[in-house]
Structure 1
Amino acid sequence: MSANDESRFSSDQPDELKNIIEAAIMVSEVPITVDRILGMFLDATKPERATVKELLLELEQDYAKRGFELRCIDKGYRLQTREEYSPWLARLSTGRQPRYSRAMLETLAIIAYRQPVTRGEIEEIRGVAVSTDIIRTLQEREWIRQLGVRDVPGKPALFGTTKNFLEYFSLEGLSQLPTLQDIRDMDTIAAELNMELPLEDNAVDRPDDKIDNEAKSAAEKNSQADMLENLPVTDDRQPVENASSNDENLVTTDDSSENEESPVKKINETDSNQKKSG
């Protein structure tokens, strides 16, 4: 549609408007928010926010029986292949499936459930030193970020998960993380998040070789179940943008975030409500 064509466009054309929204979702490199969708239109032709939300619901229904589904990821929307078709789609991939060490998965799980959390607190929960390489790898993959520092002597860095973490694991929010009652070991977490654990110790994200033998011995004695039981998790887990309000000693840099309800129905809404109540 050229500039002249756009001037003739009317927001009263729902089919055309839905096609534009669908095209925007397809080409966006990140989940696209309602605000970004509205920002595509001239003031004279800008649709109502409620109209955009209604059309997103229609698109969700349109894709209900397709190989793609419309998902809401932290208030942004994207089209993705359905998980049940992953066994076939995986055979198209020429790259090697990444593997993650248990140490990395434990660290990521603690940050996800306990955020905002310091490295020292992670080590206290795990009972073993946290590899610098693991923290760096998680940051490089943009699964975690520094939220700020704790306002205590030494001002240790506080870590939390990112929007990329939610996007990568197809989570609408932290409330969709498996509840601790459902978790028995790291393999359960890996299965919930569609991650593959290494069968050997030579995984890509090995703990730092500088960890001494005493720390390694302590790690072996510290069972995964005990570690998970030590996670001080509450039922009101929040996205990292809102987590800072729960910690009076947290000093952060605020990120802008769109404040709106998702127009797309949450996947497994019943299960999500059960998790919150549990």
Structure 2
Amino acid sequence: MVEAARAREGKGRSDDHLFDRELDHLPPEARWREWMNRVEATIFAASEPVGRETLARIVGKTCSIDLLIDDIREELRGRPYDLVSVAGGWKHLTRPAYADAIRAAVGGSERAVDLTQSDVLVLMCVAYFQPITRAELSSFFGKEISRDLIGHMRGAGLIASGPRSPTPGAPYTYVTTKAFLLEFGLDTLRDLPDFEALEDAGLLSKEKLLAGDIMPGFADAGDSGADAAIDE
């Protein structure tokens, strides 16, 4: 088994050595075009967002991934899809303007997650105040947050168990996942609307949250990627 592993490792090093990343034999314009094609093809073929480290394996060492992405997006400007930064990588996503046409033609996305009003409110609190326990969520809303509700969001992959809380009993906390970012079209949690700024502007408060007033744009933020449905 050890010899087989070494053989596979050696083959990987050999294949990597044979793959021409630099393309020094090409003139600069043709080299840039080939790097663009490689990056776009890789992202197109991937089922999940493709990160910077992965893309760096197929272009030259001095190549700027960001500039490549900018040029690809410029060429896609008039197309019904775009290259979007989401969940720590890049992914091809259709533009929101074509969501209704896509649903009419082929139905909802297989990745779509049906979220009730309660799901979205609890999920929003987890996103802003993570890591947070179920008891803390229940205290925040003034009523018990059921295990079934937590289980539904865990089953959808939107939240996961975080570190144990230092409170008595050391209960599990909950945190959002990469799937959460992908579902709502966020690159990182830093892309969430600033909670304090929303409060200062009078757009969000605990009272509004408990009354079911969701932040404008939050519930449908995933239209460019996944179809998060809100059941009134």
| Category of TM-score, reference length = shorter chain | 0.7 to 0.9
Report the Cα distance in structure 2 between the residues aligned to 1:119 and 1:160, rounded to whole angstroms. Answer: 11
The corresponding residue for 1:125 is 140
Report the Cα distance in structure 1 between the residues aligned to 2:189 and 2:129, rounded to whole angstroms. Answer: 11
Following TM superposition, by how much is the alpha carbon of 1:68 offset from its aligned partner in structure 2, in angstroms? 0.9
**Root mean square deviation of aligned Cα:** 2.7
CA 140–130 in structure 1, closer or farther in 2 if over 3 Å, else same: same
Contact 1:70 1:77 in 2 (8 A): yes
Following TM superposition, by how much is the alpha carbon of 1:17 offset from its aligned partner in structure 2, in angstroms? 1.3
Report the Cα distance in structure 1 between the residues aligned to 2:44 and 2:54, rounded to whole angstroms. Answer: 14
The corresponding residue for 2:219 is 190
CA 16–120 in structure 1, closer or farther in 2 if over 3 Å, else same: same
The corresponding residue for 1:162 is 177
Runs of 4+ in structure 1 deviating by more than 6 angstroms, as ranges, are none
What secondary structure, in the 3-state scheme, does the structure 2 residue paired with 1:167 have? Answer: helix
The corresponding residue for 1:21 is 39
Higher relative contact order (CA 8 A, sep 6+): 1
The corresponding residue for 2:89 is 76
Q: How many residues align?
A: 192
Structure 1 segment 230-245 matched on structure 2, within 5 A: none
Q: Does 1:47 align with 2:60?
A: yes
Letter in 1 for 2:175: G
Q: Where does structure 2 lack aligned partners over 5 or more consecutive residues?
A: 1-14
Following TM superposition, by how much is the alpha carbon of 1:101 offset from its aligned partner in structure 2, in angstroms? 2.1
What secondary structure, in the 3-state scheme, does the structure 2 residue paired with 1:186 have? Answer: coil
The corresponding residue for 1:137 is 152
CA 54–127 in structure 1, closer or farther in 2 if over 3 Å, else same: same
What secondary structure, in the 3-state scheme, does the structure 2 residue paired with 1:146 have? Answer: strand
TM-score (norm 1): 0.61
Q: Percent identity?
A: 22
Contact 2:22 2:60 in 1 (8 A): no
Report the Cα distance in structure 2 between the residues aligned to 1:64 and 1:105, rounded to whole angstroms. Answer: 32
What secondary structure, in the 3-state scheme, does the structure 1 residue paired with 2:168 have? Answer: coil
Following TM superposition, by how much is the alpha carbon of 1:102 offset from its aligned partner in structure 2, in angstroms? 2.1
What secondary structure, in the 3-state scheme, does the structure 2 residue paired with 1:77 have? Answer: strand
The corresponding residue for 1:222 is none
- Once the two structures are superposed, what CA deviation does each residue of 1:24-53 show, in whole Å capped at 9, x if it has no partner? 0001111101101223x4xxxx51264333
Q: Which of 15, 19, 30 pairs up with 2:48?
A: 30
Letter in 2 for 1:196: A
Report the Cα distance in structure 2 between the residues aligned to 1:53 and 1:192, rounded to whole angstroms. Answer: 24
Letter in 2 for 1:28: A
TM-score (norm 2): 0.72
Q: Where does structure 1 lack aligned partners over 5 or more consecutive residues?
A: 200-278
Following TM superposition, by how much is the alpha carbon of 1:75 offset from its aligned partner in structure 2, in angstroms? 2.7
Farther-moved stretch of structure 1 (61-70 vs 48-57): 48-57
Contact 1:187 1:197 in 2 (8 A): no
Contact 1:73 1:170 in 2 (8 A): yes
- Once the two structures are superposed, what CA deviation does each residue of 1:33-90 show, in whole Å capped at 9, x if it has no partner? 1101223x4xxxx512643332112112221221111111133011100112212112
Contact 2:183 2:222 in 1 (8 A): no
Farther-moved stretch of structure 1 (113-122 vs 146-155): 146-155
Contact 1:74 1:166 in 2 (8 A): yes
CA 140–94 in structure 1, closer or farther in 2 if over 3 Å, else same: same
